[in-house]
């Protein structure tokens, strides 16, 4: 296994330059598939896939190298696909083993979506790189770019959580169609739930994101400018709970229907606030609690504000997290004609 750096005297034809790697969990080990350059030139390049098996990642890579007669050069690997993983312990074990090898430092980690047996093997040999396509698809998204180091760190920290984007091939095109929530009981969310994973996502700097609010007698387009969340532990009658406050700010763009002026603004804010709380409730009850994936980082907040309690419960956080009560509060402030008015 060639880890990194320049090795004088190594024939380039005896080296497989890897652009993407996929690790599939099997009953007795791992199946590792890599996408590698088969031709490299100024005017022409093409890619091919190779596969190896082993009880460990290192053994699978060795098997792959023996089959191809080439050393793997992993420094150019941009994407690591994990397939068949859901349990946080299994994923942590794999990422820890890969990280300990060095050499492979993928910029993006992605999960194969439901029903995808082997994404890289679907490409075969050709001029298109699935690794490049995946990297372009995932880079820059709010919930789509997770690197190996960050994911391994979060899996090792019981007070935080992580979502890994799940990709499927649909009509010859790659699409984000799910999210893996690795926890005690891993969940791969379906496409219908994707827009509920981050309610009213914070827009990038300079970006304006338009949403539509609908209710009885009206519909209104509004622009999101700011989305903030605050979380803090609190004690009531000797019982620990959390207060989660979500706040959205923006301005009304247009309205349609029988409601106008301040009445339209008030109703739109109430309905947006109701939707905001419903989405965070879904995230808490359908992802955080079932998978024991601490996406709200409640453990870190306990460590910060209630250190003594965290020292007592942190070791058993997987059993404590699903039972902690959370009070959700929301507020929505919209501008209309540059005037701030109303609260949902």
**144-171: pLDDT as tens digits:** 678 788 788 888 887 888 888 888 887 7
Query: Looking at residue 135, what is its pLDDT?
Result: 84
* Statement: residue 305 has pLDDT above 70: yes
CB 76 within 8 A of CB 130: no
Q: How many helices (H) and strands (E) does the chain have?
A: 9, 14
Residue of 148 and 341 predicted with greater confidence: 148
- Residue 212 and residue 195: Cα distance in Å, rounded? 14
Query: Looking at residue 6, what is its pLDDT?
Result: 46
Does the pTM exceed 0.85? no
**46-87: pLDDT as tens digits:** 788 889 999 999 999 999 999 988 888 877 788 899 998 878
Q: What is the residue whose two structure tokens read 């890994």?
A: 164
Q: 46 pairs with which residues across the strands?
A: 39
């Amino acid at each position: 296994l060639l880890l990194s750096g320049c090795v004088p005297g190594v024939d380039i034809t005896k080296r497989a330059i890897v652009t993407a790697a996929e690790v599939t969990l099997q009953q007795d080990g791992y199946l590792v598939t890599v996408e590698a350059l088969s031709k490299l030139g100024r005017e022409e390049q093409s890619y091919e896939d190779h596969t190896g098996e082993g009880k460990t990642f290192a053994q699978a890579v060795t098997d792959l190298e023996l089959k191809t007669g080439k050393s793997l050069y992993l420094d150019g690997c941009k994407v690591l696909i994990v397939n068949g993983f859901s349990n946080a312990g299994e994923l942590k074990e794999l990422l820890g083993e890969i990280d300990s090898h060095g050499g492979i430092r993928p910029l993006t980690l992605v999960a194969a979506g439901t029903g995808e047996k082997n994404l890289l093997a679907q490409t075969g040999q050709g001029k298109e790189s699935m690794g490049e396509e995946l990297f372009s698809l995932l880079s820059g998204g709010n919930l789509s770019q997770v690197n190996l180091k960050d994911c391994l760190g979060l899996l090792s920290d019981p007070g935080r959580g992580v979502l890994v984007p799940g990709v499927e091939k649909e009509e010859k095109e790659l699409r984000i169609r799910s999210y893996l929530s690795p926890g005690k009981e891993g969940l791969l969310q379906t496409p219908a739930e994707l827009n509920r994973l981050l309610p009213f996502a914070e827009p990038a700097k300079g970006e304006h994101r338009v949403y539509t609010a609908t209710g009885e007698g009206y519909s209104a387009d509004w622009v999101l400018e700011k989305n903030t969340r605050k979380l803090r532990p609190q004690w009531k009658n000797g019982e620990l709970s959390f207060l989660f406050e979500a706040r959205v700010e923006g301005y009304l763009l247009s309205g349609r229907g029988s409601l106008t002026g301040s009445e339209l603004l008030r109703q739109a804010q109430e309905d947006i606030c109701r939707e905001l709380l419903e989405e965070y409730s879904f995230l808490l009850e359908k992802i955080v609690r079932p998978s024991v994936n601490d996406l709200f980082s409640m453990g870190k907040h306990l460590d910060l504000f209630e250190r003594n309690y965290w020292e007592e419960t942190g070791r058993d956080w997987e059993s404590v997290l699903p039972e902690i009560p959370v009070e959700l509060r929301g507020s929505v402030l919209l501008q209309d004609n540059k005037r701030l008015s109303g609260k949902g």
